[in-house]
Chains A and B, each alone.
Chain A
Amino acid sequence: MKKIIALFLSIVTAVSMTVSSGAIDIDLDEFYGLNDTENSLTPTDLLTDNADILSSSEEERIGEKLEDISEKYGIDVLVYTTRDVPYDSESACMDFAFDRIEEYLYAEGKSDGIIFVVDMNYRLWNMSTKGKAEEAITESYGLEILDKKCIDSLSDGDYEECFMKYAETCEKFLKAYDEGKPYGPTRPFVTAGMIIKALLIGAVIGLVVALIVTSGLKKQLKSVDKQKTANNFVRRGSFDLKLSQDLFLYKNVTKTRRQSSSSGGGRSGGGGSRGGSRGGRF
């Protein structure tokens, strides 16, 4: 028995030494299943376009932006497009997103990051945060802002615009967090664009109200008008409806396809113990 165990151990040692010396060509990563490239990230992949919705120049631009932010603030900002979310449900997409970011962070030896997953098969999206990213971009505030900023262009098919807006907004949130003044209900996230939009809406309402009020004041000055009718001179009780006929002629029916609710329906949130999360359909 002792002899058999000893023989076995020596064979194993020999094989390992041979393999590690390169004499026998066995890829240990593949042997141990660490090279599952279909759904894993290599350490340098902040942007993964498995669904192939971006051109190579767009990939380059977005990739550069993501690297820039991640380096500056030490929190990784990821984008991942796919067609491989296993089920048509928002929780499946959320799980998929957490799996991808956890794999990435583990491979990188890091703990802080945010990922934006877009599944082109079921048209699902999810943003999930880990570590410090959960504090910088909170589930209840930051992810909601990202949702409002990005998902419209995702629905419209402007993928580069969507991901660039995602990156730029993440950058602003991470910068504020880095400075010790993270955005939240006590420190609202306001951009010049938002201010201009709000002012425009206010101006339109202001114009309408001003017109109504000043027209009313102007009307006060006018008391002279021609009478179009003789309603004041109708002889009381003289109205006699002698003929009243309602004849149905024909009808027609038209139908229009109902618009499926776009991004706005069914937001899911709550990553629970895994981190912060928000998702939906587009």
Chain B
Amino acid sequence: MSTLIEYKCPCCNGELTFNSDIQKMKCPFCDTEFDVETLKSYDDVLKEEFVDDMKWEEEQPEIWDVPEGMVGYICESCRGEIIADKTTVASRCPFCDNPVVMAGKLSGILKPDYVIPFKLDKAAAEKAFANHLKGKKLLPKTFKSETKIKEIKGVYVPFWLFDCDADAHITYRGTKVKRWSSGNYNYTETSYYQIVRGGLLGFERVPVDGSTKMPDDLMDSIEPYNYKEMIDFQTAYLSGYLADKYDVDSNASQERANLRVKQSTEEAFRSTVVGYATCIPNQSTVKLSHGKIKYALLPVWMMNTEYKGEKFMFAMNGQTGKFVGNLPMDKGAFARWFLGIFAGVTAVAGAIAMLIGGIL
């Protein structure tokens, strides 16, 4: 005698009953029929408990014994701390462009594990900025003439780099659709599937910037860095450049790393589901293992400017030369372009509509 098992209908969640006429489970509410074996497999997948587990190994970098000759600056406005050697004069904060004050000897900061040295110089940054302004039809014409880059500063920005293996288990609800016509009717057959994908995906050195003063989106935009050129940290590399002191510890950065890792993992597994008309994720869990966190300084050229009372920040990847920074829009130019295109296309499309509409 078999044990009485209760199954819920995958279609409407009603309680299924065994129909002896058809020898299948049938839902009394929506009339859908199921094989018992199919239901068992479906149920087994649902019963398994999958919970996100995205914890990282706590690996605390060592405290940095800062050598003589390195000084700290504190920004008057945003209270950020910048490190530079004595020979490098930092007169303005690279982030908010306000004056900085020398703080004296540094202590209690972490020693970076890695650094990518600057590959491109100040001249390259200036050239990249000029190129960035070219070809932008809606950029106000006076932007170039009225703005002056007050200081282009080479800054080492602190990043937390996350390595891990992601173990994913994702279920989807998919449909396949078949259409045909017969007699006076059009028929549509929709088949429903439960799809399960699971496996591993490795990540290395997912960067999350460790400075609150450095806008996350700006730093995201100058990615990626070529980690092949990343080397063990040495103080000598800082000479001539500023270094931002981290103020977001690794714990606080994990949230950001987790989001990116989970999103990428979901995308990778979703791409293995093919041949369906629709595919909607039902349940998605990601577990992390072999998580490592390292602290690195990555090179960025920072530029600030002001235009019509609004501050604009630009950044260039000091290794690859990728230049980013939002630009203002000339509303007048926008209106002129919009109206010009609208009028032109309306006239042409209207004339074509008249011709097609039946005067030929």
Contacts and interface: CB of A to CB of B under 8 A. Distances in A.
Interface of A: 144-145, 148, 185, 188-190, 194-195, 197-199, 201-203, 205-207, 209-211, 213-214, 217-218, 220-235, 238-258
B338 A214 contact: yes
Contacts of A258: 181, 184-186
A209 B343 CA distance: 11
A255 B187 contact: yes
10 contacts: A213-B337, A214-B338, A217-B334, A223-B324, A243-B197, A245-B196, A247-B194, A250-B32, A250-B34, A253-B190
Contacts of A223: 132, 221, 323-326
B309 interface: no
Interface of B: 10-11, 32-34, 38, 41-42, 45, 132, 135-139, 165, 169, 174, 181, 184-207, 215-218, 220-221, 223-224, 257, 259-261, 263-264, 267-269, 272, 323-329, 334, 337-339, 341-354, 357-360
A259 B325 CA distance: 56
Nearest to B260: A230
Interface centre among A144, A195, A213, A229 (most CB of B within 10 A): A229
B186 A256 contact: yes
A234 B201 contact: yes
Given A217-B337, A243-B199, A250-B11, A194 B349 contact: no
A148 B327 CA distance: 52
A139 to B, nearest CB: 15
Among all A-B residue pairs, the 8 with the closest Cβ atoms:
A202-B350, A238-B202, A243-B198, A235-B202, A206-B346, A188-B359, A202-B349, A206-B345
Contacts of A255: 185-188
Given A251-B190, A254-B188, A239 B199 contact: yes
Contact of B138 (A209, A217, A227, A249): A217
A190 B351 CA distance: 12
B108 to A, nearest CB: 30
Interface centre among B203, B217, B267, B324 (most CB of A within 10 A): B203
Contact of B139 (A210, A221, A235): A221
A257 B183 CA distance: 9
A253 B33 CA distance: 13
A241 B184 CA distance: 46
Nearest to A220: B136
A188 B260 CA distance: 63
A194 B38 contact: no
Given A198-B357, A253-B189, A245 B195 contact: yes
Contacts of A214: 138, 334, 337-338, 341
A69 to B, nearest CB: 22
Nearest to B276: A246
A263 B263 CA distance: 53
B332 to A, nearest CB: 13
Contacts of A211: 338
B327 to A, nearest CB: 4
A183 B254 CA distance: 77
Given A194-B354, A202-B353, A223-B325, 18 more contacts: A194-B357, A211-B338, A217-B137, A220-B135, A220-B138, A224-B218, A224-B324, A226-B216, A227-B220, A230-B264, A232-B223, A243-B169, A250-B10, A250-B32, A252-B32, A252-B190, A255-B187, A256-B188
A198 B350 CA distance: 5
B156 to A, nearest CB: 20
Contacts of B350: 198-199, 201-203
A144 to B, nearest CB: 7
A202 B136 contact: no
A234 B261 CA distance: 9
B250 to A, nearest CB: 16
B338 A257 contact: no
